[in-house]
Amino acid sequence: MSVVRDTLRVLPDTPGVYRMLNARGDALYVGKAKSLKKRVVAYTRLDKLPLRLQRMVSETVTMEVVTTHTEAEALLLESNLIKKLKPRYNILLRDDKSFPFLVLTDDHAFPQIVKHRGARSLSGQYFGPFASAGAVNHTLNTLQKAFLLRSCSDNVFTSRTRPCLLYQIKRCSAPCVDRVSPTDYAALVEQARGFLSGKTQEIQHDLAARMEAHSDQMEYEQAAALRDRIRALTSVQARQDISLDGVSDADVIAAHQGGGVTCIQVFFFRMGQNYGNRAYFPVHTQDADEGEVLEAFVGQFYASKLPPSSILLSRPLPNQDLVEAALRLRAGHRVDVAVPQRGNRVKAVTHALNNAREALGRRLAESSAQSKLLEGMAEVFELDTPPERVEVYDNSHVQGTHPVGAMIVAGPEGFRKNAYRKFNIKEGVKPGDDYGMMRQVLTRRFARAQKEDPDHDRGEWPDLVLIDGGKGQLSVVCEVFAELGVEDVALVSIAKGPDRNAGKETFYQPGRTPFTLPGNHPVMYFLQRLRDEAHRFAIGSHRARRSQAIGTSPLDSLDGIGPKRKKALLHHFGSAKGVADAGLADLAAVDGISESLAKKIYDHFHSGG
C-alpha cells in the first residue's frame, strides 16, 4: 500500500498506462486510465477491492507509469503490454495464433494462389483471415477446381517440362507448359479475384451462360468442364449458412459466461462470405463480468491484427466509444463497433452467441470429467490434493541419432499445448543413453524453473511429474531432484507391461512398492492418454530435427566456405564424405581453396577443429 501511495503523490492527472511489478520485476497488472491519479487512488481503498486485486496490491513492490496523449492511445498501449507481458492479474487471451490468408500473387506473368500465414511478405492481394487451416484449405481446393490457378512455387513452375498431377485431376490449367494462353489465364485470375471479392453471383451466372452456350453448340466436354467449376463454387456457397447483407467485412463477436468461465466466439465475414469461426476461453475471468471480459478480449485480439470495418458484438462494452476510437487509430480507417438490433446482423450475433453457449457447455463438461480424473490420480498416487499441473516426459531417437527430449503439460482444462517444450539433447550424453538424456532434460527444466520462478508463484511448477520408463529412470530423476534441492514435486515412473502391452503397466514411486492398476480403471486410461501424447510429441520433435539435419551438409559448419566454394568442393570430390577423407594437397588443388583454407578444412575433419 505504501508503494501505491508513494506513486500516487507524483502521478499526473493525464491519460496513461500503469504497471504494478513484484520483487523480481515481473508485471502483476497492467491498467490504463483517462486520469492516472484518479484511477490509481482506487487501489488505496483495499476494502472495496476484490480479493484478487487485494492480493495483487500486497505483492506490488514498485510501479511504472507511461503517459499518453489520449485515452485511446492508452488503451492500445495497455493491450500491447498485456499481450507481451502476460500479467498474472489481468484477463488474458492466451490462444493468440496468427490466422491463415489466401494470397493472389502479382509478381509473376502467371499469378499463383497460395495459403499464407504470418507477416505479409508475399507481393499480392490478401484475402482473409480464415478461422482455421481447414477453412482456408477447403477454399483453396475449391478455387483450384473452379478457376484452375496454379499453386506451385516459381521454382517448380520454371522447371516443369510436362503437366503435374493437379492438371490431371483438373485443378490447374498448366500454364507452366503452355496449356493455357496468357490471356485466358489472366481471365481466370480476374474471375478468382472477383469471387474472393464477393462477386460470387456474377461469376456463377457468367459460367452458367457459357456452359449453356457450349451445350447448345454440342461442345459437351467444354460444357462439362464449366459444370464442374460451377459445382465447386456452389460447394462454397452451401457453407455460407449465415449471411450479412449490406456488410462486406465484419467480425461477429459473442460472449457467454457460466461456471466462472467465459467463452468468446469470433465469426469472420469477408467480402460477404463466411470464413469460419473460432472459440476462445480467456483466463483470470472469475471476478470479471461479461462486459469487462469482452472489452479486454477485443483490445488484446486486435493488438496484433487489423480490425475490419465493422465489429458486431453480443453486448455493449463498458467503454465502447473509447474502444471504437482506439480501433480506428489502430486500423487507420473507420471501424464501427455496434450491438445490432434488427435484421440479419442480429441473426449473425445470435448464431455466434449460441455457438459460444454450446462451446462453453462442452468445455465445462470436459473440465468436470478432467477434474474427476485428476482426483482419481491423486487417490491412486496418494497425493494430498488433485494436481493442477502434470508434466510428462519422454525421449526419442533412432539408434542414438538426433536425440530429443519432450515435455507435455496437462491440467484441469486438458492438454496445455502452449506449455509443451522440446529439448535438443546437447553434447555429453552417449548415443542411446536414455538415462543420460533424461538426466539432462530434467536438470535443464528444473534448473531453469528455480531461476525464473523461485517462489513457485507463476504457475509453472508441476505438482506431478510422470516419466516414461521403469525403476532406473525414476532413480535418475530422484538424483536430479536431490542435486537441485527439489522437494515438493511428486514423481511417478510408468514402465510398459510384458510385451509392451497397454493396460499392464507397472508404476514406481519413491518409497513405495511398485504396483499396477486394473486395465479398466479410468485413471489407467487417462495415464495412457498422457503417455501417448508425450510419445507423439517426442517423435514429432525428433522427426523435425532429423528432417532438418537431412537438409544440411557437414560443410555448412565450416567458416569461410560459402555456396561457391562448397559447390566446387562437392564437384571435385563428389560428396561431403569425399571432402572429409581428402588430404591437404587434394584440398588445395580445388579451385578457390587456398593452402590456409585447405588446412582449416583438413583440421576440421581430422582434429576436431
> 540 pLDDT exceeds 90?
no
The mean pLDDT value for 525-546 works out to: 79
At residue 53, the pLDDT reads 86
- Chain region(s) in the chain for CATH 3.40.1440.10: 2-85
- Chain region(s) in the chain for CATH 1.10.150.20: 554-606
Radius of gyration over alpha carbons of the chain, in Å?
Answer: 30
How crowded is residue 232: how many other Cβ atoms within 10 Å of its Cβ? 18
- In the chain, the percentage of residues whose pLDDT exceeds 70 is 90
- Chain region(s) in the chain for CATH 3.30.420.340: 390-549
Each residue of 208-242: pLDDT tens digit? 888 888 888 888 877 887 787 777 666 555 444 55
Residue 482 C-alpha from the chain's centroid: 36
Of 3.30.420.340, 3.90.1200.10, 3.90.1150.50, 3.40.50.20, which CATH number belongs to 390-549?
3.30.420.340
Taking the C-alpha atoms of residue 240 and residue 251, their distance in angstroms, rounded to an integer, is 15
Class of domain 2-85: alpha beta
Query: How sure is the predictor about 590, in pLDDT bands with cuts at 50, 70 and 90?
Result: confident
> 296 pLDDT exceeds 50?
yes
Each residue of 418-437: pLDDT tens digit? 889 988 888 777 777 788 88
Each residue of 67-125: pLDDT tens digit? 999 999 999 999 989 988 889 898 888 766 778 889 999 889 999 998 988 888 889 88
The verdict on whether omega for the bond into residue 403 sits within 30 degrees of 0, i.e. cis, is: no
Q: Where are the beta strands (DSSP E) in 426-517?
A: 464-468, 490-495, 506-509, 512-515
- Indicate the range of 273-282, 328-337, 378-387, 485-494 predicted with least confidence: 273-282
At residue 185, the pLDDT reads 92
At residue 399, the pLDDT reads 57
* Topology (CATH) of 554-606: DNA polymerase; domain 1 (1.10.150)
Q: Which residue has the cell 449465415?
A: 242
> 157 pLDDT exceeds 50?
yes
Say if residues 53 and 7 touch (Cβ distance below 8 Å).
no
For the full predicted model, state whether its pTM sits above 0.75: no
- Indicate the range of 15-19, 88-92, 525-529 predicted with least confidence: 525-529
Say if residues 30 and 77 touch (Cβ distance below 8 Å).
no
Taking the C-alpha atoms of residue 489 and residue 571, their distance in angstroms, rounded to an integer, is 57
The mean pLDDT value for 519-528 works out to: 81
